[in-house]
Structure 1
Amino acid sequence: MHYVYLIECADGSLYTGYTTDVERRVEEHNAGTGAKYTRGRGPVELVHTEQFESKSRAMSREYEIKQFSRARKERLCE
């Protein structure tokens, strides 16, 4: 399975990513070995996930979410 996830960083910012293992990826972000953006912004908290059968669909959705305004991302996480 393929996943798109949103995490909230300690500074309140939201980060959107793609992975095949959400738990491992969140641990990487918290360890400082995840995305460059999240380094120094930890700890992070998982606030939203979506599951997809195909990598291409998940990556398309990741791109779509990254275009959302912060307010729309927050509504998605509710």
Structure 2
Amino acid sequence: MYYVYILFSESSDVYYKGFSEDVEKRLEYHLHSKGKFTSGVGDWEIVYVKEFANKKEALIEEKRLKRLNRKSIEKLIYG
């Protein structure tokens, strides 16, 4: 299975969208990484996860999510 996820950092007030086969492991990477976007932010939390049967569908959804504005992301997460 593949997953598309959205993380939120309260301290930075920012959302991060991505995909992975293991969301919890990926969260740990973001929390402790020196990655370009997620480094220095230690309070990422998972706020949205959607499961896909294959990688192609997950990547299409990730791309769609990355194009959404903040209002649309929050509507998706919080209804």
TM-score normalised by the chain length of structure 2: 0.91
Question: 2:32 corresponds to which letter in structure 1?
Answer: A
Percent identity over the alignment is 34
Q: TM-score, normalised by structure 1?
A: 0.92
1:15 paired residue number = 16
Q: Distance in 2 between matches of 1:76 and 1:24?
A: 23
Does 2:43 correspond to 1:43?
A: yes
CA RMSD across the alignment? 1.1
- Deviation of 1:41 (Å): 2.1
Aligned to 2:53: 53
TM superposition shift of 1:51: 0.2
Structure 1, unaligned runs of 5 or more: none
Deviation at 1:7, TM superposition (A): 0.2
**Residues 26-75 of structure 1: per-residue CA shift (max 9 Å, x gap):** 11111125x42011122201000000001000000000000001000011
Match of 1:64 in 2: 64
**Distance in 2 (alpha carbons) for counterparts of 1:18 and 1:36:** 16
User: How many matched pairs?
Assistant: 77
